[in-house]
Amino acid sequence: MITEKLQNAINGQITAELWSSNLYLQMAFFLEKEGWDGFAHWMMKQADEEKEHATALAHYLIKRGGEATVDKIDAVPGGWGSVLEVFEHVYSHECHVSELVNNLVDIASAEKDKATQDFLWGFVREQVEEEATASGIVAKIRRCGENGLFHLDEQLGRR
């Protein structure tokens, strides 16, 4: 059985993951409108991945006898000036999500819930990868400049 404190924290993370999914969906729409179909495709995949995170957290809660809920999801920002700005925002957001996941691990530890700690370490490892991927894309965009964006757009469209 999962504690109420931990259940509430995980439900908060479910909502945060769904907000992230909406953010990336909005970014995909922006990128597509700007003619960056590959970047938009990559962002759509990212939006799907965040929804999968929320679902995995919900399934885990239910398996542990808890109740999964979705709270109100606030509106996400829209409109960025450039592809670089979009991906800088992605990187910043992934760093924020890493903090949220780390806080969840701390709560599980304080609640002495080793099963949840173990489960959440998978999310911690995935966040490391997501931060690194976003940071890498930002670095590539900066290096390639405006002319190289077409190649990178094509590359990310193959995700």
Confidence of residue 77 (pLDDT cuts 50, 70, 90): very high
Mean pLDDT of the chain: 96
Confidence of residue 147 (pLDDT cuts 50, 70, 90): confident
Residue 105 near residue 117, CB atoms below 8 Å: yes
Q: What percent of the chain has pLDDT over 70?
A: 100
The full set of domains in the chain, from first to last, is 4-70+80-156 (1.20.1260.10)
What pLDDT digit, counting tens, does each position of 102-121 carry? Answer: 999 999 999 999 999 999 99
- Cα dist from 152 to 27, 45, 157, whole Å: 17, 16, 8
Amino acid identity of 47? Answer: A
pLDDT of 132 over the 80 cut: yes
Q: Are 27 and 43 in contact (CB under 8 A)?
A: yes
pTM: 0.94
* pLDDT value at residue 9: 98
